[in-house]
Amino acid sequence: MSTFRTDTEIPRAGFAIGERIAALDDLVRAYPSPSYERLAGKSVLDLLQDWDSALEAVNNLRAAITETVIQDHFRAFSDVAICPPVDLPRQVFCTGANYRKHVIDLTLDMGVGPEGLDAAGLRRWAENMMDERAATGEPYAFTKPVSTIGGAYDALVVPTIEEKPDWELELGVIIGRGGRNISRADAMSHVAGYAIVDDVTSRSLIARTDYKQLGTDWLRAKGQPGFLPFGPVLVPAQFVTDPYDLHLKLSLNGEVMQDEDAADMIFDISRQIEYISRYTRLMCHSACNIDPLSRGIGVQNLQAD
């Protein structure tokens, strides 16, 4: 599933196959059937409000799509403007410091830890810290304004004062059934699907220097317009057999900058949904960004595989 527009259209819900897309409305009109007519006139946001029923209709439509249909109605991504798959979610939650390797590497890169340790000792300290956190700790969650969301191919305007913006490629989890105090055992039944997201950060704006007791400022560092490229597609959960068997890779101008596996999470998806819903109500069609795999910098020509 995706959302797209042309120069003469408002954003429309689309059915994506590979890097080709067709509007749901066009497909329903061209090949009418009671089994999926409810998709007509709906945005992806609308479909997520009754996801179980919508997914059945989408599956029925997929069964009707032949190679001839693709040739007649599907357009290349490059011929349209690809919008965020859900345009726009009602909530965005992010979880931080949730990849073991990432945190250990970041600790070594920044030299953060007890004084007097050599590189090997610092690595052991960081590994022990992560193991202890996994055994006894809790996820760390924060929100981003919905206004940070942009399309996967949209231009990103970096603040002029920022010399080294940071990418954080993540697995996005889209909620299809909301709730409060969701149990870990039931959490995955609330997931509608998955997407690629990039949690962009202005590193120079994180720390508050005017009043240091305030600590960090996530609004200005992570909440600026376009600081959450999202998409290009939402992959329904039924097509992702194991979300931890996903490989996330980010390239900058052809150079691979991130190359990680979702299996390296300290707290898995169900634990994070349990944690977030303990303190706030998860709304249907929210987006949860399951932790950064961050490295240091650049935002032009980013690609995620």
Residue-level pLDDT at 32: 92
What's the pLDDT score for residue 113? 86
Number of H helices, E strands in the chain: 8, 17
Question: Model-level pTM?
Answer: 0.89
**d(Cα 24, Cα 40) in Å, to the nearest integer?**
7
pLDDT for the residue numbered 154: 94
pLDDT of residue 288: 65
CATH 3.90.850.10 fits 92-98+139-304, yes or no: yes
**Residue range(s) of every CATH 3.90.850.10 domain in the chain:** 92-98+139-304
Assign 3-state DSSP to the chain and report helix, strand, coil percentages, each to 5.
35, 30, 35
- Which regions of the chain are under pLDDT 50? 292-305
For residue 38, what are the contacts with CB-CB under 8 A and spacing of at least 6? 53, 54, 57
pLDDT tens digits along 87-109: 889 999 999 888 888 788 878 88
Indicate the burial class of 242 (C-beta count within 10 angstroms; 0-12, 13-18, 19 or more): exposed
**Which residue from 111, 98, 97, 78 is spatially nearest to 4, judged by alpha carbons?**
78
Quote the pLDDT of residue 302.
35
Map residue 111 onto helix, strand or coil.
coil
Structure confidence at residue 104 (pLDDT): 87
Give the separation between CA 59 and CA 269, rounded to whole angstroms. 25
- pLDDT tens figures, 228-279: 999 999 999 999 999 999 998 888 888 888 888 888 899 999 999 999 999 9
Q: Are 292 and 169 in contact (CB under 8 A)?
A: yes
Cβ–Cβ < 8 Å for 264, 99:
yes
pLDDT of residue 297: 30
pLDDT of residue 290: 62
Contact 37, 44 (CB under 8 A): no
Q: What is the 8-class DSSP label of residue 225?
A: T
Q: Where are the beta strands (DSSP E) in the chain?
A: 2-5, 12-17, 20-23, 75-76, 81-83, 92-96, 140-143, 149-151, 165-175, 191-198, 201-202, 228-230, 235-236, 247-252, 255-261, 287-295, 302-304
